[in-house]
Structures are given as C-alpha cells and as structure tokens.
Amino acid sequence: MSSGASRRPAAPDSEQPKRHADGELLGIGAAAACAGVSERALRYYQQLGLITPAGCTQGGLRRYSQADLERVAWIRQLQSLLGLSLDEIGVVLRTDDRLTQLRLAYYRGSISDAGRRELISESQALLQEVRQTLKAKRTAIDTFLADLDGRIQRTDELLAQLEEPAGKPS
C-alpha cells in the first residue's frame, strides 16, 4: 500500500475479507491507487471479465491481491505498449488463462499421450489466435506509419520549395 493512502477504521468482523496466501488484500481504493487506475476502471475491468477480485467481504466489498494488481499492470501494458483494445486484451488474457490450465493438466501427468497431444494442439491454436491479433495490429500500425511518412515527405518538399531563392523557377 502506498504511504499516501488514507487508512480507514477496521471493518466489523462481518466485513473482514478472507485472507489469501499471497498476502494482504486491498480494498478497491487502495488497489486502484497502487495500480495507477481509477476505481471505476477496476470495476469496468471486472465487468468485462478482465479481472476477478481475489476476495470479497461478507458485505460484498471487493478485495484485490498482488496477483490482481499485476494483472491490471499487464492490461495497462497491453493497452499502452501494443495498443490493444479492451476486447483484444480480453482475448489475450483468456488465452493466457487457458494456457495456464493446459500447462497444469499437461504436467500433472495424469493424461494419456493422446490427451497431451490434444492439449498441445489447443495451446498452439490459442497462441496462433493471439499472434494473428498482434499481426493485424502491427499491419495497421505499419499502414499508419507509411501514411505518416508520406505526409512528412510532402511537408519536407513544401519546406524545400519555400527555401528556394525567389528568382529561381521551380
């Protein structure tokens, strides 16, 4: 928790969240402050299915774990670094969640070789789907950059024309 966060009085026992092994659970205000987003953003991410708070008090107040905050940080990176929309981020997150499930099933070793092949094939299909999403995004960025380069070249040409001596024909 940041040192600037205000501390509220402890909630009554009926409002105390269940603790998780990964550490202290934060209320929505403290979690939003730590994650660098608004409370509204956290609620919206939950509404879209991008995050699920680690816990809830008996009174229904959301509680967020360190893993939840890391997921929010990842969402923000996917937005800012890759320019993905929240829908595209949902695909990436659901794919990653499913891949985690598949890895666990694979390494538990309680499935046949045929079952393992199916898990690997599903993993590959999911990874290809994310790759296609990112490839489409890159194509759109490349197209935008090409247009921008064309505009820059035209403005360079206009500047060059303006810098020519007035007596010279163009």
Tell me the CA distances in angstroms from 57 to 16, 18, 28, one per residue in order. Answer: 6, 7, 12
Range of lowest pLDDT (39-53, 74-88, 111-125): 111-125
Does the pLDDT value for residue 7 go beyond 50?
no
More confident residue, 141 or 5: 141
Instruction: Give me the pLDDT at residue 168, please.
Output: 61
pLDDT tens-digit readout, 14-52:
333 434 344 789 999 999 999 999 999 999 999 999 999
**Mean per-residue pLDDT, 151-163:** 94
How much is the pTM? 0.64
Q: Kindly report each contact of residues 36-39 with a partner whose C-beta sits within 8 Å and lies 24 or more positions away, as own/partner.
A: 36/76, 37/72, 37/76
Q: Residues 140-155: what's their mean pLDDT?
A: 96
Task: Please tell me the predicted confidence (pLDDT) of residue 4.
Answer: 36
Average pLDDT, the chain: 82
